[in-house]
Amino acid sequence: MLEVMARADGPIPLDVAFRVAPGQVLALVGPSGSGKTTILRVIAGLWHPSVARVAVGDEIWLDSAKAVKYPTYRRRVGMVFQNYALFPHMSAAQNVMAAMDRADPGEARRILDLVNLQGLADRKPAQLSGGQQQRVAVARALARRPQVLLLDEPFSAVDRATREKLYGEIIALRAHLAMPVVLVTHDMNEAQMLADQIVLIDKGRVLRQGSTAEVMSDPVALRAMGIRELATLLPATIVAHEDDGLTRLMTAGGPLFLPLVAADPGSAVRVRIMAHEVILSRARPEGLSAQNILPGVVVRIVAGQGPAVMVHIAIGGDEIVARITRRAADQMALAPGDPVHAILKTMSVARDHIAR
Amino acid sequence: MPVSRFRRFVLAAALACGMLGAPVVAQDDVPVIAAASDLQFAVTEIAAAFTAETGMDLRLSFGSTGNFARQIRAGAPFEIFMAADEHFIADLHAEGLTKDSGDLYGMGRIVVMVPHGSALIPDEGLDNLAALLAAGGITRFAIANPDHAPYGMRAREALITRGIWDDLQPFMVLGENVSQAAQFALSGNAEGGMIAYALALAPEVAARGRFALIPAEWHDPLRQRMVLLHNAGPVAEAFYEYLQTPAARAIMTRYGFDLPEGE
Amino acid sequence: MDWTALWLSLRLAGWTVVILLPVAIVMGRFLAYRRFRGKGLVEAFVMLPLVLPPTVFGFYLLVAFGRNSPLGDLWQGLFGQQLVFSFQGLVVASVIFNLPFAIQPAQRGFEAVAVELREAASCCGMSPLRSLWQVELPLAWPGVLTAMVLSFAHTLGEFGIVLMVGGSIPGETRTIAISIYDSVQGFDDRGAAIMSAVLVAFSLFAIAVTFWLSARVGRRLS
């Protein structure tokens, strides 16, 4: 269990506290300058605010009240820097071995295989692509056998296609991680896809923290982050890949058609459904272009300050959120318990909004 | 640079350092003689003769008398001091830095010397110098620094006696010692200068120009004295004795160092 | 050609470099990484020998450890000989007046090592010493080597301070630069010319090496 508390007045104001269980991923989300990287640096020991406490399991790494302060190199922390900070004069394997207590080339190669860098062990960072460098950085952090894994905007420097691939790999890697993971990102999609817990930060203050599902459907918090980010994750299973370039999936509410998904039939995925892309209808519509029509039941309606309301809809045992105008909700006279259909355009689901 | 190559480089560098050896030079038994610059050629010759005869080595250092006196006071490890002016010896003796009061080894003389092709003509009355000076034909004239070099002091006295010191001042070039003054005087960048007779007699110098002896009455005598310093060892003492042998005296005479009657 | 003087100069330059190497690494690294009040003052102090006239410097050195000074007496008591007019005295003077040549380029070399890399080294569990050996020095070495080359070359050519503090004692303090001076005064132009050519060759070599090394640092920074 990682416990973090940090308070400072300046130069960067901070006031945060959170806990992360082993194997859990916590995302620190906020705009640039909100202090999220600073918090990561506090955990790593690269910065010390006036009042702070960082504890990992039984070890207390930092406690300003008791004047306990472990230097960074004595903390078992694995840090993936935003620009990777790979040692330019060392090969990938040597970079990985640099983090080991005892340099073990065999183990280095094993870890590099784990992050899909087979055969590239002897290349220097300058000879690797951005995505490959990022994976070396992750491998190096893991080689430390860290008690906490810290990722500082690890995907911001790669292009979108690579990013999608890396999301998949990180999610697959999670099975091997028995430690708390703290991820810093400004990308809500990334946070929702990868994290169990989210802490929304702005100007060093916590706006909202809690499980991903809670935070991502909270309009008050999301207002600060951009209300268009409101979304839910709908679990689905891939049934088959059709001839016309679509993939058919099955959800708790019925079939779902999406543009070709790069996974085998039978795989379980989570689909991120943006609230503002969902159209509601009482009756099952006919003659519509939209392929995805999911029957559900209204759970609750949450009004915001603007012209919109959030309608939480149960699809089988899962829940999605639709964001429609209050006028529409009034016109339709929606109320909790009403059966309703959620309509979603196939083309509105982006490729990086689907993950395992 | 890969890590292993870096380490090999460091090891190589360390090995190179090992070859530096101890910083102490094992030459403590070869004495250093401090001699006034005018003795540059004379003492070199005498020292060579000494080494040839006895097999004992010497180290020679030439410079301005005043400078050496200062260095000796500051603890410089010279074992014999051959000064161009006995006053410096007397002072050091009074401070207990010498073995005794030393011995006179010759009377120094000064000359006016000009390089070949100079507009200046050397004559013992310095008439040509005065005339050329009055006509504005002098750009530079070199002497040793009168502040600490005896030959510089005597040059000044002679020029004062002749009455052209003040007029010559703006064109004066001062050498650190009389050797450097000679160097300046004969470099072609000056019309000439006033230097030591002993230097002018040396073949290397004589070949570069012409000179005329300045009357001895125009300046205080250059009573050149030598002394064994308090830390002098047996080799130094041997050389000191050798300097007073007929063979050495003959060389001295050849360089214009006569001993006054009765000394 | 005064081989004794050349060998003396090489030994003087060599010892200067040996002593200044750890100084350059420690001080260069310290000034590169730390920001503190009064840092400008320390840097200016290190620069001082660069701008001070050599004779002023020589004068102060004589005052500081000549005969009858506390340091001079201490040395005399410990080693039985004077610090001035000795090779050891030249080494002491040389180490001091080469400080700017040793520390500044080393500092630039360490500044070229990105802060992130040092932080990454810490996160990899490297103690500061291990980080210095495995990460920082392999990256900063062009700066450190430039510092040593410059100090070496500068010592070979140093004249005024050596003359004031050491005199011109053959085999002890008569460096090749002084030997050239003595040769000119002694009307030995040929000897002076040969020794000057040797020194010029050394200096050109030092410049060439320094340029090559700066190019390497430049490439690394970009």
> Which range (A168-182, B36-50, B235-249) has the least confidence?
A168-182
Q: Residue B116 carries which DSSP code?
A: T
Are the beta carbons of A229 and A37 closer than 8 angstroms? no
| B135: closest CA of chain C, how far (Å) | 31
Query: A98: which chain B residues are within 8 Å (Cβ-Cβ)?
Result: none
* Structure tokens, A185: 């990102």
| B50: closest CA of chain C, how far (Å) | 18
Distance CA A182, CA A87 (A): 23
Distance CA B105, CA B242 (A): 12
Nearest to C125 among A85, A89, A101 (CB): A101
Are the beta carbons of B246 and B252 closer than 8 angstroms? no
Residues of A at the C interface (Cβ-Cβ below 8 Å)?
A: 44-46, 71-74, 76-79, 81, 83, 85-89, 98-99, 101, 140-141, 144
Are the beta carbons of A272 and A294 closer than 8 angstroms? no
Distance CA B13, CA C18 (A): 10
Nearest to C185 among B60, B71, B183 (CB): B183
Residue B18, pLDDT above cutoff 70? no
Q: Which of A207, A226, A204 is nearest to A36 (CA)?
A: A204
Query: C135: which chain A residues are within 8 Å (Cβ-Cβ)?
Result: 87, 98
Distance CA A301, CA B74 (A): 99
Nearest to A99 among C119, C125, C220 (CB): C125
Which contacts of B15-18 are long-range, i.e. CB under 8 A and separated by 24 or more positions? B16/C14, B17/C14, B17/C18
- Judged by DSSP in three states, C166 sits in helix
Helices (H) and strands (E) in chain C, counts: 12, 0
In B135-258, which ranges are continuous DSSP H helix?
Answer: 150-162, 165-168, 178-185, 197-201, 203-206, 234-242, 246-254
Q: How far apart are the first and last CA of chain C?
A: 46
Greatest pairwise CA separation for chain C in angstroms: 66
Q: What is the pTM of this model?
A: 0.79
Name the percent of chain C in helix, strand, coil, to the closest 5.
80, 0, 20
Average pLDDT of chain C is: 89
Distance CA A42, CA C138 (A): 28
How many of the other CB atoms lie within 10 Å of CB of A108? Answer: 24
Is the Cα dihedral A218, A219, A222, A224 positive or negative? negative
- Residue B17's pLDDT band (cuts 50, 70, 90): low
A89 touches chain B (CB under 8 A): yes
Nearest to B20 among C14, C168, C185 (CB): C14
How many of the other CB atoms lie within 10 Å of CB of A1? Answer: 12
- Residue B22's pLDDT band (cuts 50, 70, 90): very low
Instruction: List pLDDT tens digits, range B58-78.
Output: 999 999 999 899 899 888 899
| C80: closest CA of chain B, how far (Å) | 12
Residue B1, pLDDT above cutoff 70? no
Residue C7, pLDDT above cutoff 60? yes
Residue C130, pLDDT above cutoff 80? yes
Find the radius of gyration of the CA atoms of chain A: 22
- Residue A9's pLDDT band (cuts 50, 70, 90): confident
> Which range (A95-99, A259-263, A336-340, B82-86) has the least confidence?
A259-263
Interface test with C, best of B10, B15, B32, B183 (most C CBs within 10 A): B32
* Structure tokens, A350: 């982006």
Nearest to A79 among C123, C131, C139 (CB): C123
Residue of A nearest to B6 (CA): A89
CB pairs under 8 A between A and B: 5
- Residue B23's pLDDT band (cuts 50, 70, 90): very low
ipTM of this complex prediction, to 2 decimal places? 0.81
Instruction: List pLDDT tens digits, range C37-72.
Output: 889 999 999 999 888 888 888 888 888 887 778 888
| C93: closest CA of chain A, how far (Å) | 37
C106 touches chain A (CB under 8 A): no
- Residue B26's pLDDT band (cuts 50, 70, 90): very low
Do the Cβ atoms of B77 and C185 come within 8 Å?
no
Distance CA A332, CA A335 (A): 9
Instruction: List pLDDT tens digits, range A23-54.
Output: 899 999 988 888 889 999 999 999 888 899 99
The strand pair at A246-251 and A68-69 is best described as unpaired
Greatest pairwise CA separation for chain A in angstroms: 70
Instruction: List pLDDT tens digits, range B177-214.
Output: 999 999 999 988 899 999 999 999 999 999 999 999 99
Q: How far apart are the first and last CA of chain A?
A: 25
Q: Residue B259 carries which DSSP code?
A: P
Kind and range of the H or E run holding A315: strand A308-315
Distance CA A98, CA A116 (A): 19
